Amino acid sequence: MGTGIKSIVTAVLLGLLFIQPAMAGDAKTVKDEKSKDENSKSIPDPTQFITKHKGRFNGQVIEYTATAGETYLRSKDGKPKASIFTFAYTKTNLAKGEVRPVTFLWNGGPGSASTWLHMGTFGPKRVAVPSDASYPGPPPYPILDAPGTILDVTDLVFVDPVGTGFSRALGKHENKEFWGLNEDARSMAEFIRTWVTKNGRWNSPRFLLGESYGTTRAAAVSKLLEGEFMMSLNGIIFVSQALDYQGSSPYVDNNLIAHVTYLPTMAAAAWYHHKVNPRPDNLEDFLAEARAFAADELLPALFKGTALDNKTHAHIRDRLAYFTGLTPEYIERANLRINGFRFAKELFRKEGLAVGLLDARYTTDDIDDLKADPAGDAASIAISSAFKSAQMDYMHNDLGVNWDRIYQVPADDALNNEWNWRTVPDGEAYEPVYVNTAGDLSVALRHNPTLKVLVASGYYDLVTPFFDAEYTLGRHGIKPEQISYKYFGGGHMMYVNEPSRAQLLKNTRTFIQQQLKP
């Protein structure tokens, strides 16, 4: 989750599965080949927990190995500098001559472990939370087989960056060396190269799948892989796109772009909660109307500022009231500039509720009904315990992970404060700008004309709005024929909505299969 926005969201944010018994005592714990340097005396060998499984995915019987373990990144002198912990699911009952694709998946934050994608959609087991955005309650939480996941078409490697999960810096190195826009991208590219080499997978088709900041990372990593690392990709999947942060930073004063990119999502939330009057029957048609208003009327009006005539001002105010469900009086006081986060507090102001940022279908009862912004995120509050509890149980009882190291969800406490957003070395002149890795993606797409991107967006996502994905990927020299969009009736983690989860898996599987065609 997360796109470098406020702390309320940055911290968060599949056939019947037949598993051979894999209690903690049954898992095979192995050590990688010993380090052949002086540092090996102080750094233990990488730890791995290996279990064998069998399941039916999309109607296919898949036998696979689950490897929960460390991969060491090494400095140029060969000494270990960081441990990257991953959950890798690799098919073992291969057909003769079968070349198996591999997909690397990570979440966002920055500072999020892969818990959400792992236990929400793409892993062989998943946690079930109410599809209707109601509170899932206390444990125990249902941990279900996930026959719809994409293990039938690709191996899966869920990656936890340094400072999340079990991943740590090693030896004399510090975590903060890997905490930064550029630093993080390079460490993930180095990990992919190391994993592919270690597992003999250089000629396997390669895919990246990132969520939220994980899309920021995927764009930057794609440029490194396609260029410097000479590792071409077959496809990229963005879940809740966040490449150019101008369109996902509604809290920055005078950021006109965010007022425009957020309008359709606010309209979707108002429509969902029956705050639009009259309420159209068809959401997609309503949102097409909202997009047109945002781009063709709202943006020019905001650009004019005080030069806007009174008649047009009144028209924009009333249309904003219609699309958002807010009162004309509030919009007047806001000078036609509706902060996307304040909208989450204002929509149910009279009822004393705030809607979720990660998923506006959720609501929570804040203590202070007078504040302009929500006190926390309703969606994160509702589901975080279920996801972490389910993963910890699954790791112990199915994957045999029995380790005294703390699995960091959320991330290392220092990560957010020490994250380096600068794109130039320390000491060089630098004028702060919005984070933007869309240019990196554009370079990768030009280096590899066959590379395509699937963009999955939730209609009710007030953190990375779907209209921002369209705005961002429609610029930066990105060719439209290399981008495809899919939309879902959920939020940032659209997969907590069951129909959306099933559709996301179907869309991802189809995309991978299409990209594998000669």
For the chain, give every domain's residue range.
Answer: 7-246+385-516, 252-372
- Average pLDDT for residues 459-481, to the nearest whole number? 97
Q: Give how far Cα 412 sits from Cα of 178, 196, 252, 358, 515, Å.
A: 12, 27, 26, 22, 37
How does pLDDT run across 377-395, given as a tens digit for each residue?
Answer: 999 999 999 999 999 999 9
Structural class in CATH, domain 7-246+385-516 = alpha beta
Judge whether residue 372 has pLDDT over 90. Answer: yes
pLDDT class for 495, splitting at 50, 70, 90?
very high
The residue to which tokens 């699309």 are assigned? 323
Indicate if the alpha-carbon torsion angle 8, 138, 146, 363 is positive or negative.
Answer: negative
Judge whether residue 12 has pLDDT over 60. Answer: no
CA nearest to 104, candidates 299, 234, 2 = 234
DSSP string, 135-159: ---SSPPPEEE-TTSGGGT-EEEEE
pLDDT class for 39, splitting at 50, 70, 90?
very low
Judge whether residue 517 has pLDDT over 50. Answer: yes
The identity of residue 453, as a single letter, is: V
The residue to which tokens 């009086």 are assigned? 329
The answer, yes or no, to whether the previous bond of 410 is cis (omega within 30 of 0) is yes
The answer, yes or no, to whether the previous bond of 140 is cis (omega within 30 of 0) is yes
Judge whether residue 15 has pLDDT over 50. Answer: no
How does pLDDT run across 99-122, given as a tens digit for each residue?
Answer: 999 999 999 999 999 999 999 999
Number of neighbouring beta carbons within 10 Å of residue 307: 7
pLDDT class for 27, splitting at 50, 70, 90?
low
Q: What is residue 335's predicted lDDT score, i.e. its pLDDT?
A: 96
Q: What is residue 70's predicted lDDT score, i.e. its pLDDT?
A: 97
The residue to which tokens 């799948």 are assigned? 209
pLDDT class for 432, splitting at 50, 70, 90?
confident
Strands 363-364 and 155-160: unpaired
CA distance 149 to 124: 7
Q: What is residue 430's predicted lDDT score, i.e. its pLDDT?
A: 86
Segment (H or E) for 57: strand 47-57
Judge whether residue 21 has pLDDT over 80. Answer: no
Task: Pick the more confident residue, 232 or 429.
Answer: 232
Among 6-15, 96-105, 108-117, 159-168, the minimum mean pLDDT is found in: 6-15
Rounded to 10 deg, the angle between the 283-293 and 310-324 helix axes is: 150
Q: What is residue 31's predicted lDDT score, i.e. its pLDDT?
A: 53
Strands 102-106 and 80-91: unpaired
- Average pLDDT for residues 336-360, to the nearest whole number? 97
CA distance 185 to 40: 26
The answer, yes or no, to whether the previous bond of 110 is cis (omega within 30 of 0) is yes
Q: What is residue 30's predicted lDDT score, i.e. its pLDDT?
A: 53
CA angle, residues 480, 484, 487, in degrees to nearest 5: 135
Judge whether residue 404 has pLDDT over 50. Answer: yes
Q: What is residue 431's predicted lDDT score, i.e. its pLDDT?
A: 87
Judge whether residue 37 has pLDDT over 90. Answer: no
Judge whether residue 166 has pLDDT over 90. Answer: yes
pLDDT class for 41, splitting at 50, 70, 90?
low
pLDDT class for 4, splitting at 50, 70, 90?
very low
Give me the percent of the chain exceeding a pLDDT of 70: 92
CA distance 237 to 218: 9
How does pLDDT run across 140-156, given as a tens digit for each residue?
Answer: 999 999 999 999 999 99
Q: Which residues pair with 60 in a beta bridge?
A: 57
Mean pLDDT (the chain, rounded): 92
| Residue 107 near residue 1 (C-beta atoms within 8 A) | yes
